[in-house]
């Protein structure tokens, strides 16, 4: 116990505070595990940051990874002893105010006086490299350890919000040509002839490699030409033009690295996704060799933390691991289940085939619930903009507001600031938003958030044997968990949640192992008396059999 307290005492804001319930147990589990990968499933309010930093403090030098810059700033505010570093494009160039350090204007003929001392990025990087506790974001860390190497080999790496890790890894190893790149490299003709699938896998793979090699030749030629123009710049030359050339070379250098990575790693488990405005080569799953090369080989021990994780066998598949390489620890929720009831109330069966018939039932159910919560704010998770609009039109209540893809943040800000009991309808509020206290006392999940099977990658995974089916169903289940958690952010906070799609009930009953115990304990299969007494939802089945099954 003394060791844990000493480690915590290194962080001034927490030195005199006792550990929360389960924190010390989690730290001990992470530190004492003999596995390289430790997974900590910790719901909101568990104090994950302190767990991760304290565990790392006991192991020597620590790298703490987060998914967003916002969270990076939040961690450094809570732990001022830690040093934070962002990517080059976050630091202004002292030589030229029109560019950032990402587009460095220093050349062999025109050396920057600030390059060796005074460059804001280089100075900050040296400071962070010397620090014991270093806070980085995923993308920067992956680029650094794979192409520069200065942050590789840390004895303890914490990955916060690690449920997003697979997506970041897949993006890192994928090769994407957007419209600009296709036009700049004149690849449209070659791309048109590319096949996405073929019975002859060897020939298909060879055609992809040939495309990649041709792209490499063309982007290399562009880099050479741009470098000549930049290096040949003389006094009196158009400085703005030189800056533009430097920016173009930065983009080209980044693309070249991606093409070379693709040529070194592409295999029969990769897929080609041809879209109207882009071309994407990517692996269907993170393989063990890819994951080891680009992530796991760059640290001695990893602690992955999030409120939600796939079960071990799915998580291992997604992160290129063997299930036996993972230690898995779950922290129970510290929020009373009475404060976060989840009413499983299937008023409609919202499948693609039945949605036209079932939509009026759904709208009737939503209207009843909204009317019975006349003075509170809430959110309705709608999965799609079209469903959100149908709900707003059908319920026909001025309390319901909606956003589109362009005014999302503006509408959310209006919702948060308003003193009125608004209900925000959105297809994109399952993550990244915290609506504590009176900002959200009501949550409605209108439809089960199954991934779109029209997506080539999603479909290929879904039908990739049993593991693919489990991944598809579990993704929907965990997204619902995230949806339900937007409104209860502390132990004294309260919010009622209603799940109205019968597809969700079936998903939960058939796959209870996808969900953590603390979430399942909040399920209720009968409406609250207040709702029944005031305005009952019509056509509600008897749930006694469901309760017995649970």
Residue 237 pLDDT: 58
Token digits of residue 61: 């030098």
Give the DSSP letter of residue 537.
P
User: Could you give the angle at which helices 23-32 and 48-57 cross, rounded to 10 degrees?
Assistant: 40
Tell me the C-alpha distance between 203 and 439, whole Å.
57
Residue 327 pLDDT: 94
Closest CA to 519 of 481, 470, 476, 462: 481
Tell me the C-alpha distance between 540 and 48, whole Å.
40
Token digits of residue 103: 């587009």
Q: Which residue has the higher pLDDT, 410 or 118?
A: 410
CA atoms within 13 A on the CB side of 98: 9
Residue 233 pLDDT: 57
Range 133-160 average pLDDT = 91
pLDDT single digits (tens) 491-536:
899 999 999 999 999 999 999 999 999 999 999 877 776 666 555 5
Contacts of 394 (CB under 8 A, 6+ apart): 359, 360, 363, 366, 367
Give residue 252's pLDDT band: very low, low, confident or very high (50, 70, 90): very high
Token digits of residue 393: 């039109």
pLDDT higher than 80, residue 113: no
Q: How far is CA 245 from the centre of its chain?
A: 33
The CATH number of the domain covering residues in 2-172+286-331: 3.40.50.300
Around Cβ 42, how many Cβ atoms within 10 Å?
25
The CATH number of the domain covering residues in 337-549: 3.40.50.300
Give residue 539's pLDDT band: very low, low, confident or very high (50, 70, 90): very low
Look over the chain and give the mean of its residue pLDDT values, rounded to a whole number: 88
CA atoms within 13 A on the CB side of 525: 18
């Amino acid at each position: 116990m003394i060791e844990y307290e000493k480690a915590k005492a290194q962080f001034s804001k927490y030195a005199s505070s006792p550990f929360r319930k389960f924190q010390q147990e989690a730290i001990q589990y992470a530190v004492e595990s003999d596995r390289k990968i430790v997974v900590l499933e910790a719901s909101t309010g568990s104090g994950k940051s302190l767990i991760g930093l304290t565990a790392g403090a006991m192991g020597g030098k620590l790298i703490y990874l987060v998914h967003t810059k916002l969270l990076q700033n939040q961690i450094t505010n809570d732990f001022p002893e830690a040093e934070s570093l962002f990517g080059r494009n976050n630091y202004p160039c002292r030589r030229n105010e029109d560019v950032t350090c990402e587009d460095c204007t220093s050349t062999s003929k025109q050396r920057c006086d600030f390059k060796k001392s005074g460059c804001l990025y280089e100075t900050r990087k040296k400071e962070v490299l010397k620090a014991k506790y270093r806070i980085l974001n995923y993308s920067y860390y992956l680029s650094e350890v794979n192409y520069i190497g200065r942050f590789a080999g840390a004895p303890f790496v914490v990955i916060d919000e690690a449920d997003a890790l697979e997506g970041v890894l897949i993006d890192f190893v994928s090769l994407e040509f957007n419209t600009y790149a296709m036009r700049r490299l004149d690849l449209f003709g070659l791309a048109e002839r590319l096949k996405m699938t073929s019975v002859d896998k060897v020939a298909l793979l060879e055609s992809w490699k040939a495309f990649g090699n041709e792209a490499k030749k063309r982007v290399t030629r562009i880099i050479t030409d741009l470098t000549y123009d930049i290096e040949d710049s003389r006094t009196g030359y158009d400085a703005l033009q030189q800056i533009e050339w430097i920016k173009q070379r930065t983009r080209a250098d980044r693309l070249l690295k991606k093409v070379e990575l693709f040529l070194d790693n592409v295999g029969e488990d990769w897929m080609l996704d041809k879209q109207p405005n882009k071309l994407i080569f990517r692996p269907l799953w993170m393989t063990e060799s890819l994951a080891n090369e680009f992530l796991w080989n760059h640290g001695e021990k990893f602690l992955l933390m999030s409120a939600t994780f796939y079960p071990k066998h799915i998580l291992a598949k997604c992160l290129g691991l063997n299930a036996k390489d993972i230690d898995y620890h779950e922290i129970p929720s510290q929020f009373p289940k009475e404060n976060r009831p989840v009413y499983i109330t299937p008023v409609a069966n919202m499948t693609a085939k039945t949605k036209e018939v079932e939509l009026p039932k759904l709208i009737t159910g939503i209207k009843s619930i909204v009317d019975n919560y006349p003075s509170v704010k809430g959110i309705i998770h709608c999965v799609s903009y079209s469903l959100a609009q149908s709900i707003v039109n059908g319920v026909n209540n001025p309390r319901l507001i909606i956003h589109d893809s362009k005014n999302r943040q503006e509408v959310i800000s209006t919702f948060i600031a308003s003193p009125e009991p608004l209900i925000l309808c959105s297809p994109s509020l399952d993550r990244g938003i915290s609506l504590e206290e009176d900002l959200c006392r009501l949550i409605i999940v209108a439809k089960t958030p199954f991934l779109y099977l029209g997506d080539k990658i999603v479909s290929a995974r879904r039908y990739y044997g049993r593991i693919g089916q489990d991944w598809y169903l579990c993704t929907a289940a965990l997204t619902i968990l995230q949806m339900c958690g937007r409104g209860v952010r502390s132990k004294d906070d309260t919010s009622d949640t209603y799940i109205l799609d019968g597809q969700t009930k079936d998903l939960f009953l058939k796959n209870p192992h996808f969900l953590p115990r603390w979430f399942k304990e909040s399920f209720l299969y009968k409406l609250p008396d207040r709702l029944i007494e005031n305005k009952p939802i019509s056509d509600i089945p008897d749930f006694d059999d469901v309760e017995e099954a649970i």
